[in-house]
A = this chain, B = another copy of it.
Amino acid sequence: MDDLARHLGLSRATVSFALNGRTDVRISEATRARVVAAARELGYRPHAGAQSLAAQRTDLIGFVTDIPASPFGGGIIHGAQAAAWRRHKLLLIVSSEGDPEIEATGVEMLLDRRVEGLVYATQMHRVATLPAAVEAVPTVLVHCTSDRPGAVSVLPDEVEGGYAATRRLLAAGHRRIGLVNLAAGLPASTGRRSGYERALTEAGLELEPALVRQGDATATTGYDLAARLLDLADPPTGLFCATDRMAMGAYDAAKERGLRIPEDVAVVGFDNQEIVAAYLRPALTTVALPFAEMGVAAVEMLAATAAGERVLDRTLTGRLVERASV
């Protein structure tokens, strides 16, 4: 910048004003144009690090996650980066692979870089143990909660999701709807089930415990649970599976029994794992969790916090993706 100023016969201050397009200081249009032209010509590139140091802001947001290598993690990263982009900020990433030591050291490194906020995203909807150092900077948790005061969370609305899935089956005329659920105790399991129950109750149907089964998230379990439901004396005609993988298993159970989907039994999944849902035959109607939106929300909440607003936990609603299994 010094070279530029000398080249133009101006002071560094003037060049800085002109380049930053500041309106609170009067610079003649002619001068501004000369400066900009010279900057381009000489290939001048402002040094963001030096700007940070002088201006006392870094435009950097820290992103810590245990899972970049999943559709979930990637989606959040993408949303967060897009939102940061709009604010002319960049994302500094640490992926911990769940290792608490990497996590703690990573947070330290990010704080050394003076990130203006921290996004902490986890693979599973769970309670997270944050390194103590995060207190130093506004933090938003994604897909998890923490007892640490001041940390706010962005969570998917499991209840609404379960409700939407079940409503879809009801709308298609189904009256006996089975739930192939995740193991009890998980927020995802509890939430999806209460959405399911709310929808049935609203439709004036009675809750039948025999129609609700639970197990782990695998296709094998989905197969077993769905098989038991379909083998009931009065089997369900609709199946809400709490994950797409479980729905995959349910497909097999149905096919083995000669049941056509959706004619004989309709299936709704959860997660919208593109690879599974879109390519299952028939394609799976399922609930998409708002990954990218959660990333966007996290960065926006960080910005709001920085602006002095009080920020509360947020819950984001998924979206029913209609395909051909209902």
Question: CB within 8 Å of B: which residues of A?
Answer: 45-50, 52-53, 58, 63, 67-71, 73-75, 77-78, 81-82, 85, 90-95, 97, 102, 106, 109-114, 218-220, 223, 244-245, 248-249, 252, 255, 273, 275-276, 279-281, 291-292
Partner of A111, one of B45, B219, B279: B45
Sampled A-B contacts (17; CB under 8 Å): A46-B112, A47-B53, A49-B52, A68-B74, A68-B81, A71-B74, A77-B93, A77-B95, A82-B95, A82-B97, A85-B94, A85-B102, A85-B106, A93-B93, A220-B281, A223-B281, A276-B279
Q: Are B49 and A114 in contact (CB under 8 A)?
A: yes
Residues of A contacting B: mostly: helix
Query: In whole angstroms, how far apart are the Cα atoms of A73 and B70 in the complex?
Result: 9
Copies of the chain in the assembly: 2
Q: Are A69 and B291 in contact (CB under 8 A)?
A: yes
Query: In whole angstroms, how far apart are the Cα atoms of A249 and B93 in the complex?
Result: 37
Q: Are B95 and A92 in contact (CB under 8 A)?
A: no
Chain B residues contacting A52 (CB-CB under 8 Å) are: 49
Query: In whole angstroms, how far apart are the Cα atoms of A39 and B126 in the complex?
Result: 35
Interface centre among A90, A219, A276 (most CB of B within 10 A): A90
Chain B residues contacting A48 (CB-CB under 8 Å) are: 109, 112-114
Q: Are B81 and A279 in contact (CB under 8 A)?
A: no
Q: Are A249 and B49 in contact (CB under 8 A)?
A: no
Partner of A114, one of B47, B73, B94, B255: B47
Q: Are B58 and A49 in contact (CB under 8 A)?
A: yes
Query: In whole angstroms, how far apart are the Cα atoms of A50 and B48 in the complex?
Result: 12
Query: In whole angstroms, how far apart are the Cα atoms of A90 and B97 in the complex?
Result: 16
Q: Are A77 and B85 in contact (CB under 8 A)?
A: no
- Please give the distance in Å from A26's CB to the nearest CB on chain B: 26
Query: In whole angstroms, how far apart are the Cα atoms of A20 and B215 in the complex?
Result: 53
- Please give the distance in Å from A28's CB to the nearest CB on chain B: 26
CB nearest to A217 among chain B residues: B279
Query: In whole angstroms, how far apart are the Cα atoms of A52 and B74 in the complex?
Result: 29
Query: In whole angstroms, how far apart are the Cα atoms of A58 and B60 in the complex?
Result: 14
Partner of A92, one of B70, B90, B279: B90
Query: In whole angstroms, how far apart are the Cα atoms of A287 and B114 in the complex?
Result: 42
Query: In whole angstroms, how far apart are the Cα atoms of A70 and B75 in the complex?
Result: 8
